[in-house]
Structure 1
């Protein structure tokens, strides 16, 4: 049986019990049907895994006795900050999930001209929590023990104007250079801009170029927003990161 990896938003100490959240206890008991003494791996985003065994499990509570700390890093040496134009439905969820699996270090949901999402500040907070759960689940599945930073949604122009030493990149079917021609280094990393459904407006692409974003072509086919994000990150990791 595969040992489950579980995220907990709390400090973890060796030779001590770690009380799991109620929702996690319910999942372990009712879905995984785990029993006392079953092995578990915990992580809290500090860059380590912690092995242990279930010392208590029922419908309402679960506790893990932590027996060791595992200093295993699976983080990419290439920092990637994904600026993802907010997409409708599950497209945004897929983009964040797969970007996390592929090793991005930061994610900023971007409010663009064509994002077609008009919600209140309260709904944005609920969206943020929903996206954070998706990122946590992707880390649990992929073996990452450091969560990428999920920034609050921001208007595109404000994000474009932020100071960074990273190479700024966006896709454009009319561009002449490719990803492999960019002066990308692991020291400074990449700030990757991906538009929503329908892409970026011409004025947004122009503004991005004026603020230092280099446009690259990504082949002759038009990609959906979530596909463009995943394909771009995979290429960056293969050329400059840790995908071989």
Structure 2
């Protein structure tokens, strides 16, 4: 399989460029040789067929050969806003959400959150998760790199939201009695903003705030899923629903 590397450099047919440090290390670890073929993507869409020209101790020079307008995104934007699970579970959540097609991830600090970060530590966490996203894109074939925003307190994030619009459906993962199954609540063809709580769930005040900002409660069933499982399951459900409703999709 041709190696896929994220290379946010200027690419044009016949253009030569030095790979950034992360991609350079990848080429060296794979022990590629001059003449080896690569697939490069800058994270903004499409990819390039390229070849290795030269490999030094600290740099790798490549030449772009052909642009390939390949897209592997979901037909709609699905943004995950979630109470961060503790320990390494957030790392796995970010990786799998990228593979499943999340358009962006907003980590949140909620009243019942175990993991609490702010300031410089929050920025470092976001940078760490962004690196995981890039690696996941290289592996799964995505050519658009979804951003992982710096963690914010839930109420601060809520205050920053603009008024709802018909193009984006706001959904709240909930166990409340009035929560509808995602398949029943979902408006096909619209973007989605999913809100999911941390290990202890959202507080009553946070739930009320979410509802007041237009988030409709939806359910994944009667089982209580972990904080790192629920948003991934919701993302997978939406992806499956859209695939089934698209031309040529399953009935």
TM-score by length of 2: 0.90
Q: CA deviation at 1:116?
A: 2.4
Secondary structure in structure 2 of the residue aligned to 1:159: helix
Residue 200 of structure 1 is aligned with which of 190, 199, 202?
202
Secondary structure in structure 1 of the residue aligned to 2:51: strand
In structure 2, the residue matched to 1:37 is: 35
Could you list the per-position Cα deviations for residues 136-159 of structure 1 after superposition, in whole angstroms to 9, with x for gaps in the alignment?
A: 111111111011132222221233
Change (3 A) 1:33 1:50: same
Structure-2 separation of matches of 1:104 and 1:54: 31
Where structure 1 has 5 or more consecutive residues not aligned to the other structure, the ranges are none
Change (3 A) 1:120 1:208: closer
Contact 2:3/2:38 (CA < 8 Å) preserved in 1? yes
In structure 1, the residue matched to 2:218 is: 216
Secondary structure in structure 1 of the residue aligned to 2:76: coil
Where structure 2 has 5 or more consecutive residues not aligned to the other structure, the ranges are none
Structure-1 separation of matches of 2:65 and 2:77: 32
TM-score by length of 1: 0.92
Number of aligned residue pairs: 241
In structure 1, the residue matched to 2:138 is: 140
Q: Name whichever of 61-70 and 159-168 sits farther off.
A: 159-168
Structure-2 separation of matches of 1:240 and 1:155: 31
1:181 is the counterpart of 2:176:
no
Secondary structure in structure 2 of the residue aligned to 1:150: coil
Residue 131 of structure 1 is aligned with which of 126, 129, 132?
129
Structure-1 separation of matches of 2:227 and 2:56: 42
